[in-house]
Amino acid sequence: MRRVTLLLLVAVVACDDGADVPKDSGVADAPIADAPGTMPMLTSFVPMPNTIPANTPTMITWNWSYAIEPTFPEPTCSIDNGVGAVTRGQATVVTLTAVTTFTLTCTNYAGTAQRNAVVAIPPTAPIIGSATAAPTGLMSGVPTSVTINWTYSNFPSPAPTCTLEGLGAVTPGGSVMVTLTTSRSYLLKCTNGSGSSTYVVTINVNECASGTHDCQSNATCVDNPNSYTCQCNTGYSGNGDVCSAQTACTAPSTGCDTNATCIGPVGSTACVCNPGYVGNGLTCTRLLYAFTTSATGNGNLSSWAGAGGATGLAAADAICQAAATSASLPGTYKAWMSDQTNDAYCRVAGYAGKKVNNCNLAVLPTAAGPWVRVGDKEPVAPTIDKLISPYRVTYRYASTNENGSEVTFSDNIYTGTLDDGSYSASTCLDWSSNSFSVRGTQGEIAGGGTSWTDAYSIQDPTCDTVGRLRCMEVSTAGGALPTRHAVTGKRAFVTSVSGTGQLSSWVDAQGLSGLAAADAICQSRARYAGFANPQTFKAWLAYYTSSISNRIASTATPYVRPDGIIIATSRADMTDARLNAPLYQNELGQYESGTADNTGGVWTGMTTSGAATSTTYSCNGWTYPYSSYTATSGRFDLADDRFVYASLNTISCATAQRLYCVEDQ
């Protein structure tokens, strides 16, 4: 025990005898009892500052107070979370990644006291830096547990909660169950009270490993993030779909059909039907032809060359058959035309009558088709039931004539037929009149959707107008187009959603405006459709100095619709006023009707070359929804120059139009 010595001062006083008291009286120091120890009693604990930035080394001064000062004996103090021993007023460097509670502990022999203090981090919205999905290549159609992992490029506070679009809540390193047949992307979204961040996570399906590809036996399947490609094996050459032996096969020992190609030496041969034919290679059946007549005329078909004195639909069929015969085309041909008694649907299927009456059969025939173009044998349409509404599936437009040469797009075709294949009630008096006071339904030569057969939603052309005929080979039981995986290329689609010229008002705009909003809309739609790399999509849209050449990278890679049909072979081909096929398929794979006039409209703001028109014709930079402002608009159901330049300055910015979207990188 600590001892304390007190010095006693004795007063000197006079005695009666006058004697002095000695200076040193000989009285010793006297010990007294120790003072009692006092347990520390903390009344405050104050770090300064008490809010610091995340992941940043920061000097904090630690201060506290006691209920009794000074505490006796003086305690020793420490702070947890790596701070260690400290004295009052001492400063130490602290680095935090999250809000942290610090505990001060002070101790002497009499006891221990503790007090807590919180050092906060300013609220910070998450920023996702990267995200991955494993395994990287799923088997097609097999339920698989996929682990999702991600990191932040900052230190969000408070901790975010995260979801994977369509799959629910996820945590870093957590798993989700998926069953996919093709690769697709999901939106990872992490949110806290300060904001949110998104990141596209792609889950890839390996069609090659799954065996779901259609590469033939002398080609190798090569997986890629979007689909797969077929590469000819060593010793073979071709495009991957057809690989021919570099040493030619010797017919007829191969056994291949005369309309097939041998792709291997005898003993290991595989026969593949040539373009325009379908079958197993040993037997190949020719696909049906469709063409547009080189001959032209008015609504009185009996006046056409080749009519042979016939009238009405009989004249139309005679014109088609004469054209086919002159070009040595095999088969029987009829015009895609209707009158009051017979619908085009029934006629090209090899029957008579009205579609509503099942073409005079017990059930409606559906097997006619498919058809290919004369010349390059590119597919035109699938079976007849898919050609009409509600499907409206067309591939390449049938713009070649009976000789395989392209006809001019400026002419239309007389049809008298609605997009369901039935009589339109507008047929130039059943194709007997060329009067300017009578009208007949026409279709677009380079049209898709509805416009290929019924191009005018308001008023049909008069019957003195010059037109052509669409001739289709008759079939009561057609085959099927050969299976083929989608062409590898940059994907393109027209949006399934529409909106005014104020693009920021669209649901998918993500809070952006102008061209940035347009790109965000395309990326949102691509992601929703499950494309593997939606973040690369941009709108085929221009404004002022931002022409297509400034916005979309130059490429020699084809642009393809979701169905694999090439619409253009390059960016340059996209800006030459003519597409290979109309871009009327949306991101979900549906074929839009796009009838005519404004109903097939797409905001473009550009000329046919991709150059921006002007600020005047772009809804003021795609920010105004007012009817007093206008913008350049295209037609997604057409493949000529009108696909981007159908209307220079007459489409009101209050009108609902769509967007074209293309893969850019």
What's the confidence (pLDDT) of residue 222? 84
Using CA atoms, how far apart are residues 472 and 293, in angstroms rounded to an integer? Answer: 11
Per-residue pLDDT band for 232 (boundaries 50, 70, 90) equals: confident
Regarding predicted confidence, which is higher, 486 or 612? Answer: 612
Q: What is the pLDDT of residues 612-660, one digit of tens each?
A: 987 778 999 999 999 999 999 999 999 999 999 887 667 899 999 999 9
- Among 141-150, 188-197, 208-217, 235-244, whose mean pLDDT is lowest? 235-244
Phi and psi angles of residue 299, each rounded to the nearest 5 degrees, phi first = -75, -10
**pLDDT tier at 226, thresholds 50, 70, 90:** low
pLDDT at residue 615 in the model: 73
pTM of the predicted model, to two decimals? Answer: 0.71
Q: What is the mean pLDDT of the chain?
A: 86
Least-confidence region, from 123-137, 288-302, 320-334: 123-137
Place 244 in a pLDDT band, splitting at 50, 70 and 90: low
Q: pLDDT value at position 1? A: 33
Nearest CA to 353 among 363, 362, 343, 364?
Answer: 343
pLDDT at residue 473 tops 90: yes
Residue 556 CB contacts under 8 Å (≥ 6 apart), including other chains:
569, 570
Mean pLDDT of 81-97: 94
Q: Is the peptide bond before 75 cis (omega within 30 degrees of 0)?
A: no
Residue type, 565: I
What pLDDT is attached to residue 163?
94
Whether residue 363 is predicted with pLDDT greater than 50 in this model: the reply is yes
Outline which parts of the chain fall under CATH 3.10.100.10. 287-484, 490-663
- Mean pLDDT calculated for residue range 93-100: 90
When pLDDT is averaged across residues 289-309 and rounded to a whole number, the result is 96
Nearest to 658 by CA among 449, 498, 448: 498
Strongest mean pLDDT among 63-77, 145-159, 174-188, 313-327: 313-327
Query: In this structure, how many other beta carbons lie within 10 angstroms of the beta carbon of residue 65?
Result: 13
Q: What is the mean pLDDT of residues 280-296?
A: 89
- Torsions phi, psi for 291 (to 5 deg): -150, 165
Which amino acid is residue 381, in one-letter code?
A: A
Question: Stretch 38-55: mean pLDDT, rounded?
Answer: 92
Fold of 128-207: Immunoglobulin-like (2.60.40)
* The most confident of 79-83, 201-205, 486-490, 596-600, by mean pLDDT: 79-83
Q: Does domain 1-120 have CATH number 3.40.50.720?
A: no
Q: Can you give the pLDDT at residue 486?
A: 61
Question: Is the pLDDT score of 72 beyond 90?
Answer: no
**Which residue has 């088709």 as its token pair?**
369
Mention the CATH class of domain 490-663. alpha beta
Helices marked H in 327-477: 344-348, 384-387, 428-431
- Span 340-348, mean pLDDT? 97
Stretch(es) of the chain classified as CATH 2.60.40.10:
1-120, 128-207
Q: How confident is the model at residue 419 (pLDDT cuts 50, 70, 90)?
A: very high
Query: Average pLDDT for residues 255-277, to the nearest whole number?
Result: 72
Lowest-pLDDT choice from 422-431, 464-473, 637-646:
637-646
CATH architecture, range 287-484: Roll (3.10)
pLDDT at residue 586 in the model:
94
Q: What percentage of the chain has pLDDT greater than the value 70?
A: 88
* Candidate from 128-142, 425-439, 512-526 with smallest mean pLDDT: 128-142
Give 25's pLDDT tier (boundaries 50, 70, 90): very low
Q: Is 285 helix (H, G, I), strand (E, B) or coil?
A: strand
Q: What is the pLDDT of residue 345?
A: 97
Please give the pLDDT value at position 284.
Answer: 84
Q: Which two structure tokens, joined as six digits, stand for 215?
A: 């590469």
| pLDDT band at residue 208 under the 50/70/90 scheme | confident
The predicted pLDDT at position 62 comes to: 97
Between 36 and 533, the more confident residue is: 533
Helix (H) or strand (E) holding 631: strand 630-635
Note every long-range contact of 60-63, with CB atoms under 8 Å and residues 24 or more positions apart, other chains counting: 60/91, 60/92, 60/93, 60/94, 60/119, 61/89, 61/90, 61/91, 62/86, 62/88, 62/89, 62/90, 62/91, 62/92, 62/104, 63/88, 63/89
- Rounded CA-CA distance 357/342 in Å is 10
Cα(264)–Cα(186) distance, rounded to whole angstroms? 43
Q: Which residue has the higher pLDDT, 18 or 595?
A: 595
